[in-house]
Amino acid sequence: MTIIAATIAAGFVVATTSLASGGTVAVKSKAVEYKMGNETFEGLFVYPQTSKGKAPGVLMVHNWLGLSDETKKQAERVAKLGVAVFAVDVYGKGVRAKEAKEAMALAGKYKSDRKLFRERLQRGLEVLREQKGVEGSEVVALGYCFGGTGVIELARAGADVKAVVSFHGGLDSPNPSDGKNIRARVVVLQGADDPYVKASDILAFQNEMRSHGVDWQMTVYGGAVHSFTDVSAGSDAKTGAAYNEKADARSFQAFTDLLNELFPKR
């Protein structure tokens, strides 16, 4: 897809995109401020500019940097598939990591407190369903890295979504018995050489899925390490986190195929 025009007006961003079919579709985006207790959050809602009625919803969970330009780029990419995307803000309005050390501290808070992590994501799911034009019964969740861990935790919390999709996320669980709560399909898209996901965690995750009868699948991309969908990660796989064009394209196609299966009339 190639962006051929973009305008900004009245707080909305409108992008017009050419499709392989030769037609065009436009997506709009807007910031959405919301509350959880006394805390304020600011997510991003990106949706197709169409008169076809309500669209399926996608809850997107950012990587460890917070809701960044990378999140916005991915949200627009997904919305172009004909779905309404809400990028949840886990950290809070204005809380964004500027470098790895800060990101590690922010993400670590939620990795060590899965209950809080789930609560933030469940609130994001509520906000997604509150948006005009979203079909609340047709929702999936996807996340990248930290967010990939998050969507699996959302599933373990028993969230009422059709599927969760983890792109290069963590698979460990402090409470594997929580797998009994999973009602969603679980899709894991993983780099074969990701040094941040232990073989023992992969095995434990698979055993958790099997023991609780979850509808799950895992696709492993050879030669890919952590952050394989993120261009800003660079191209040096020796660092353990790097963009991989083939894995990016193939994993996005896997997600597209899932949407086509779940929501063929969108």
Domain boundaries, the chain: 30-262
CB 184 within 8 A of CB 164: yes
Query: What is the structure's pLDDT at 16?
Result: 40
- At residue 26, what are phi and psi to the nearest 5 degrees? -115, 145
Ordered per-residue pLDDT tens for the chain, 266 residues: 333 233 323 333 444 433 333 334 689 999 999 999 999 999 999 999 875 789 999 999 999 999 999 999 999 999 999 999 999 999 999 999 999 999 999 999 999 999 999 999 999 999 999 999 999 999 999 999 999 999 999 999 999 999 999 999 999 999 999 999 999 999 999 999 999 999 999 999 999 999 999 999 999 999 999 999 999 999 999 999 999 999 999 999 999 999 999 999 88
Place of tokens 């095995």: 203
User: Token pair of 184, please?
Assistant: 């969603």
User: Token pair of 42, please?
Assistant: 């600011």
User: Token pair of 167, please?
Assistant: 């792109």
pTM, whole model, 2 decimals? 0.90
Query: What is the structure's pLDDT at 43?
Result: 98
Which CATH fold would you assign to the domain 30-262?
Rossmann fold (3.40.50)
> Strands 12-18, 185-191: parallel, antiparallel or unpaired by DSSP?
unpaired
As a three-state string, the secondary structure of 66-131 is CCCHHHHHHHHHHHCCCCEEEEECCCCCCCCCCCHHHHHHHHHHHHCCHHHHHHHHHHHHHHHHHC
